[in-house]
Amino acid sequence: GQSLEQPSEVTAVEGAIVQINCTYQTSGFYGLSWYQQHDGGAPTFLSYNGLDGLEETGRFSSFLSRSDSYGYLLLQELQMKDSASYFCAVYSGGYQKVTFGTGTKLQVIP
Amino acid sequence: DSGVTQTPKHLITATGQRVTLRCSPRSGDLSVYWYQQSLDQGLQFLIQYYNGEERAKGNILERFSAQQFPDLHSELNLSSLELGDSALYFCASSVGAGAENTEAFFGQGTRLTVV
């Protein structure tokens, strides 16, 4: 089967850096994505890692280690608007089977 | 606006009933995905269609079915509804079906309440 683990809640201070981890167990792993979802809103795509290493997009970076079955999302210079849930999603199988984690609720405090 | 349109936005129905949720993907996207999100839960992948054909299946109940039509819009049919089916149902679309096309665009969801 497939499983993903990520922390359920994280609190961080405005302007700081926060890292949200995701560990996974799956067969036929393709890659790892991150999505952001504000309360009552639709998930929006943040990043995708198909290869080991760091992908940077503005204040957000995502990292993947295939050998460790581990990835993380790094948010820098936190802003209040970053308060949201963050989901990691694992792609596997020949037809892009996707499994989402249960999400990490990030609260940014002043 | 992601370009993905879902209707209706809200739906209230009684147990045992059947409903149909509709999704229009972004222009040019061939893949459509359906997800279920229960209160304070993660996203459960239900099913994926690519260019009219079922491509991948997740945790979709036998009471649920979906299809993608020639114009690429998709419908999710939920039957014999139970209270536990109350959830937010999201549709997402992407250009292709392979792992290289991983950016999916989500609609605003249909909130289904079963009473």
Residue B100 has pLDDT above 90, yes or no: no
| Three-state DSSP class for residue A80 | helix
Q: Which residues of A touch B (CB under 8 A)?
A: 30-31, 33, 41-45, 48, 50, 87, 89, 91, 93, 95-103
Local confidence band at A96 (pLDDT 50, 70, 90 cut-offs): low
Q: What is the mean pLDDT of residues A35-42?
A: 92
Average pLDDT over residues A73-78: 97
Cβ contacts of A75-82, under 8 Å, gap ≥ 24: A75/A12, A75/A17, A75/A18, A75/A19, A75/A20, A75/A106, A76/A17, A77/A15, A77/A17, A78/A12, A78/A13, A78/A14, A78/A15, A78/A16, A78/A17, A78/A18, A78/A108, A79/A14, A79/A108, A80/A14, A80/A108, A80/A110, A82/A106, A82/A108
The confidence score (pLDDT) of residue A40 equals 85
Least confident of A14-18, A100-104, B18-22: A100-104
Q: Kindly state whether B25 is in contact with chain A, defined as any CB-CB distance less than 8 angstroms.
A: no
Q: Residue A26 has what pLDDT?
A: 86
Of A8-17, A33-42, A69-78, the range with the lowest mean pLDDT is A33-42
* Integer Rg of chain A from CA: 13
* Residue A29 binned pLDDT confidence (cut-offs 50, 70, 90): confident
Cα distances from A5 to residues A22, A26, A28, B1, B40, in angstroms, run 6, 12, 18, 30, 16
Q: Which of A95, A99, A102, A104 to mutate to test the interface with B (most CBs of B within 10 A)?
A: A95
| B109 contacts chain A (CB < 8 A) | yes
The average pLDDT across A43-59 equals 92
Q: Chain A contact for B1, CB < 8 A?
A: no
The predicted pLDDT at position B40 comes to 67
pLDDT at B3 over 70: yes
Is B97 at the interface with chain A, CB within 8 A? yes
Q: Is residue B78's pLDDT more than 80?
A: yes
Of B41, B48, B105, the CB nearest to A102: B41
Structure tokens at B79: 């039957």
